[in-house]
Amino acid sequence: MKRELLLIVVAVVLVVAAWSAGRATAQARVADFEIGIEAPRGEVKVTCARGCDWPSAGQLPTTTFRCDSERCRWMVDGHGPITVGFPR
């Protein structure tokens, strides 16, 4: 009886430890922000220094926008460019 109880307690502790470790590493929070960018004609480079979930190739996450009209407007957040409601 004591052995079964000990086995159940150890199993519960292992499950809780694995759940906590998985939650801490797999579900890292992304910063909650939005940035509006207005720029004249040309190329605009936006770099995220910290707290973003943008794709990167070993360097700071960067996205580049190209403006072909007189003025352009973009929105970015912690996940990258926001395209809903904006012309492509």
Residue 87 lies in a domain: no
Give the per-residue pLDDT at 27.
58
Sign of the torsion formed by the C-alpha atoms of 57, 59, 61 and 62 = negative
- How far, rounded to the nearest angstrom, does the alpha carbon of residue 31 sit from its chain's CA centroid? 7
Residue where the block lists tokens 């970015």:
76
Instruction: Residue 8: give the domain boundaries.
Output: 1-29
pLDDT of residue 26: 61
Statement to judge: residues 47 and 22 lie in one domain: no
Residues 6+ apart with CB under 8 A from 52: 30, 31, 61, 78, 79, 80
Ranges of the chain whose pLDDT falls below 70: 23-31, 57, 83-88
Gyration radius of the chain over CA positions: 23
Residues 41 and 78 grouped into a single domain? yes
Verify that 40 and 21 share a domain, yes or no. no
Residues 14 and 46 occupy one common structural domain: no
Look at residue 88 in the predicted model and tell me its pLDDT: 46
The pLDDT assigned to 35 comes to 81
**Domain match, 40 and 65 both:** yes
Query: pTM for the whole thing?
Result: 0.49
